Amino acid sequence: MKLSGNTIFITGGGSGIGRELAEALHKRGNRVIIGGRRRSHLDEVAAANPGMAAIELDITQPASIERVAAQLIAEYPDLNVLINNAGIMEPDDAAGHIDDALLVSTMTTNVLGPIRMTSALIDHLKTRDNAVVAYTSSVLAFVPLAVTAVYSSTKAALHSYVLSQRFMLRDTSVRVLEIAPPWVRTDLMNSREAEQAMPLDAFIAETMAVLGTDVDEVLVESAQPFRANPGPGEHAFVNAFNAQAAELFGRR
């Protein structure tokens, strides 16, 4: 991906990976617009980064997505990069009752949201040079974390969608990228102070280096064993990973 001279819209840009990625791209000379539900977070990020713009977006609501897409096309006709980053992650119990509200909100935010957002902008992006659609998935798309079974399944679904969309857009100007982070120190699952998680600044630095290459899957080094795991022998890795995670999170 070209790392400068783009006009970029990033969902979930008010905090965590979205904010840090937006700031890194802003510093590279891109026109960056961030979207999210929390106006106060958006304003804080925009104020800290003069020239960055912010638009309120509820990724769970089709009407909000259509409104924002229309606004982006009208106000930023040079828009050529969409980064679908917004997501939520909550613990669940696949061995018991799954709260339906958690199920619906996670599926809507993590799967339907990015698909709808891309759908609303894809015809515009096809008209732009160096166009990119990127999705923030997770290494849990390849190796599920059992205590967040619903979240893991949404990321697996997103990975599958990316593969299909990349094929369908193969003869257009639009590249489809997948950013699959490992465990990173963010607010998801109260991970900001987790020693085992990758520091956010280190993740962004390594991600930017990989993003600037011609790869379709943006993986930092610690994510690569997870990506390499799926296959006939994947259960051993999955079981060992979840046994370790059960001790860490106090779940069995």
Q: Which long-range contacts (CB under 8 A, 24 or more apart) does 169-173 make?
A: 169/133, 172/126, 172/131, 173/125, 173/126, 173/128, 173/129, 173/130, 173/131
Domain annotation for the chain: domains and CATH numbers: 7-249 (3.40.50.720)
Contact 159, 121 (CB under 8 A): no
Please name the residue that has the structure tokens 């709808």. 116
Q: What is the pLDDT of residue 252?
A: 47
In tens digits, what is the pLDDT along the chain, a chain of 252 residues? 999 999 999 999 999 999 999 999 999 999 999 999 999 999 999 999 999 999 999 999 999 999 999 999 999 999 999 999 999 999 999 999 999 999 999 999 999 999 999 999 999 999 999 999 999 999 999 999 999 999 999 999 999 999 999 999 999 999 999 999 999 999 887 777 787 889 999 999 999 999 999 999 999 999 999 999 988 888 899 999 999 888 888 754
Q: Is 191 exposed, middle or buried (0-12, 13-18, 19+ CB in 10 A)?
A: middle
Q: What is the pLDDT of residue 251?
A: 54
Whether 151 sits among the annotated catalytic residues: the reply is yes
Q: What is the pLDDT of residue 233?
A: 84
Which residue out of 76, 135, 151, 161 is catalytically annotated?
Answer: 151
